[in-house]
Amino acid sequence: MTMSYYTLGSSGLRVTRLALGTMTFGTEWGWGADKETARVLVDAYVEAGGNFFDTADAYTGGTSETWLGEFIAERGLRGKAVIST
C-alpha cells in the first residue's frame, strides 16, 4: 500500500490521507485491542508510510493516548507523527 499525503489546512503539516484511529486501543470497555495487538497495528500503519493518528482522552479511559504515546516514543517518531486528540 502506498500512502498519499496532503497538506493539513494552511499549517504546512503533511499528513497521510488515511489516519489511524485508536479508539479501540485498550480493553476497558469489554472489547478492543490489547497492547500487543495495538502495537502491531501502529507498526503496520507506520511501515506503510502513515503519520496521522487520531486519539482522545475519552477513548478507553486514556489508555489509547498512553499507548500511542509509548509506541511513538519507542519508534522515535515524535518529530514525524501528527497526533490529533
Chain segment 30-81, per-residue pLDDT in tens = 999 999 999 999 999 999 999 999 999 999 999 999 999 999 999 999 999 9
Chain segment 2-21, per-residue pLDDT in tens = 789 999 899 899 999 999 99
5 is catalytic: no
For residue 56, give the C-alpha cell: 482522545
The band of 1, judged by pLDDT with boundaries at 50, 70 and 90, is: low
**pTM (two decimals):** 0.91
Closest listed residue to residue 20, CA positions, set 48, 47, 49, 45:
45
* Candidate list 5, 6, 45, 59, residue with the active-site label: 59
